[in-house]
Amino acid sequence: MPRTNEPRIGIHISIAGGLPNAIKRAEVLGCDCLQIFARNPRGWAARDITQVEIREFRDARERAGLWPLVIHSLYLINLAACDPLLLARSRAVFREELERALDLGADYLVVHPGNCGVTSVNVGIATTVESIRIAARGLKLGGASSDAGSAGRKNGLTILIENTAGQGTSIGCRFEQIAEILAVLDDLPVDVCLDTAHTFTSGYDISTEAGLRSTIRAIDRTFGFDRIKVLHCNDSKVPFGSRVDRHQHIGLGHIGEEAFSRLTHNLKFRRVPFILETPVDKERDESWNVNKLRELSGKPGKSVD
């Protein structure tokens, strides 16, 4: 698969009916890449996956040429928890997520940095760093290839810290906090997943041309664009700076169509895979959002057999 200047566009896909079905759904939607949950995202327990299902999933993904494969960690994990029981459980389950991501041949595993609760942000960051080290101990992780031409042939799994909207006591809503986590974990394959809705509602106004320029400068002086491996592409149901996480269909929220057109045409962002996490309702589904982002990016639609 040749590398092009076109953005790679995909979406978060359901694994209902088994992991290999996610690949089929991604192909029907004409995706270049995809994100999945590798387990129930809202419960601690996970069903076992057989070696047969793993092999079928990996083979289907290889045939489809989808790159990257991103796995999103379950929502209950809190790597910065101040409660000892929750922290221990979060670390154990994040370890399971890492192991499952390796089994499935994922390129990236996305995780939120966590909520610090009654402790300070600094303590929360230190706890998150320690949690990642404990969970990754002894595992053979490694940086995923940044070249779409290697689709299906990676050299390891990278952990991606996702920026947050800043709701409650969550850490990671300021780029400086993400940069601090990365700096302390510079010996591990840890990079960034940037979410557009979280970026906007946490106080970086990407909805305007001037605001996008300001956000680009903020990225350059903190963790830098080289550390952004995936862009979660979501509009926002809530206004700028509201510090609330509510995703909206592309172009129909407070960020708007023009902003996503600018974003997908900006050379700094265009090289990063765009993965949608948009809602599904009676009027609009996954296909609507994938096609809308393709339209705004100037990327032609895919023909699917």
Q: Which residues are catalytic?
A: 42, 72, 75, 112, 162, 195, 198, 232, 245, 247, 277
Q: In terms of Cα–Cα distance, which of 275, 305, 214 is closest to 72?
A: 275
Cis status of the peptide bond prior to 68, with omega within 30 of 0: yes
Q: In terms of Cα–Cα distance, which of 256, 112, 126, 258 is closest to 195?
A: 112
- CA distances (Å), 162 to each of 190, 217, 229, in order? 11, 19, 10
